[in-house]
Amino acid sequence: MPLIAMTREMGSLGKDVAQGVAEVLGLEVIHQEIIDQVADRMRLRNSHVVRLLDGKASILERLTTDRTSLAIFTADETYGIAQRDRGAVIRGWGATQLLRGVGHAVCVRVCAPKELRVRRMMERLQTDDEDFVRKEVGLSDEAHSAIMRRHFSINWQDGEQYDISLNTERVPIRECIEEVLKLTRDPAFAETDESRGALDNLSLSARLRVSLRNDPRTRKADIVIACNRGCVTLSGIVASAEDQRALSEVAGAVAGVTEVQNLVKTSKPSRFRGEY
């Protein structure tokens, strides 16, 4: 089944493109579902998570929220949805970058000039307060840019990050939808054993990061994880042999892991067990 990841700018009409593609293909548009699941796992209000992702969180909310866990749980939820056999249109929250390495995923950016987006949002909100709308659009753009820089080290507006970029100033919505549909029919985006394996490896890596984050012994470990059909390779540096063993124990207990190759080095003997 088709798998489409889509990012859009506020006021670009990307929501309409996503909905149109989903209706033609008989797929579900995934957006709020990811927020609901992540908020539940982090024991936060849904609105709190939305404010963090939209750049509207207060200083206290930003300081008291574990944003690393937010990213880890979001990735885990995204890959879990992508693995469903029924396909999906996944909108927002870094899905285009998370699924960039999956051959059968179509990664789409919907955009439009800022002035046009401001006018559209004023019409949608039925307001004449241009300053307020311009500020909201700016905050949304800044939040999106910050998230993509922090977690993926990219400029999210670069066209090379996507399989297709659609400017709704020039391309009508119906044509945007058709362009995305063309890619889903292209043999280059057909699901293969290789592309499915890549998704499975990414998903397993995400589940591992969740488990490591949830265990007090490995919560702060900064390591590299590589997965290949159930075989997991861990590399990096930790403080002690105890920490090194804890990584193997936690990783080995994750569903889907068949083998753990622990290449993690120790920097010095640890005098205490636990977090470091």
- Tens of pLDDT along 125-182? 999 999 999 999 998 888 888 888 888 888 888 888 999 999 999 999 999 999 999 9
274 pLDDT above the threshold of 50: no
Alpha helices in the chain (DSSP H): 14-25, 32-42, 46-54, 59-64, 67-82, 95-98, 114-125, 130-152, 173-185, 193-214, 241-252
pLDDT for 38: 83
Q: What is the mean pLDDT of residues 224-251?
A: 95
192 pLDDT above the threshold of 60: yes
Average pLDDT, the chain: 90
Task: For residues 14 and 114, state if they share a domain.
Answer: yes
275 pLDDT above the threshold of 60: no
Listed residues 125, 155, 189: the one ending a domain? 189
In a domain, 196, yes or no: no
Task: For residues 38 and 170, state if they share a domain.
Answer: yes
pLDDT for 269: 58
**How many domains does the chain fold into?**
2
- Tens of pLDDT along 22-71? 999 999 999 878 888 888 888 888 888 877 776 677 777 777 787 788 88
Task: For residues 23 and 154, state if they share a domain.
Answer: yes
pLDDT for 268: 66
pLDDT for 149: 85
Q: Between β-strands 231-238 and 223-228, what pairing exists: parallel, antiparallel or unpaired?
A: antiparallel
Instruction: Determine the structural domain holding residue 180 and report its residue range.
Output: 3-189
- Tens of pLDDT along 247-258? 999 999 999 999
Q: Residue 73 class from Cβ within 10 Å (0-12 exposed, 13-18 middle, 19+ buried)?
A: buried
Task: For residues 166 and 243, state if they share a domain.
Answer: no
Task: For residues 139 and 247, state if they share a domain.
Answer: no
Task: For residues 128 and 239, state if they share a domain.
Answer: no
In a domain, 142, yes or no: yes
CATH of the domain at 156: 3.40.50.300
- What's the pTM? 0.86
246 pLDDT above the threshold of 70: yes
In a domain, 202, yes or no: no
245 pLDDT above the threshold of 70: yes
Task: For residues 22 and 76, state if they share a domain.
Answer: yes
In a domain, 205, yes or no: no
Task: For residues 244 and 183, state if they share a domain.
Answer: no
In a domain, 206, yes or no: no
Q: What is the mean pLDDT of residues 207-218?
A: 95
- Tens of pLDDT along 118-141? 999 999 999 999 999 999 999 888
pLDDT for 42: 84
Output the CA torsion sign for 190, 193, 196, 201.
negative
CA-based nearest residue to 221, from 208, 236, 207: 236
CB atoms under 10 Å from CB of 108, counted, come to 27
Task: For residues 255 and 175, state if they share a domain.
Answer: no
In a domain, 194, yes or no: no
In a domain, 119, yes or no: yes
pLDDT for 147: 82
Most confident region among 7-11, 12-16, 150-154 by mean pLDDT: 12-16
215 pLDDT above the threshold of 90: yes
276 pLDDT above the threshold of 50: no
Task: For residues 151 and 44, state if they share a domain.
Answer: yes
> Is the CB of residue 168 less than 8 Å from the CB of residue 111?
yes
In a domain, 273, yes or no: no
Task: For residues 19 and 116, state if they share a domain.
Answer: yes
Task: For residues 135 and 237, state if they share a domain.
Answer: no
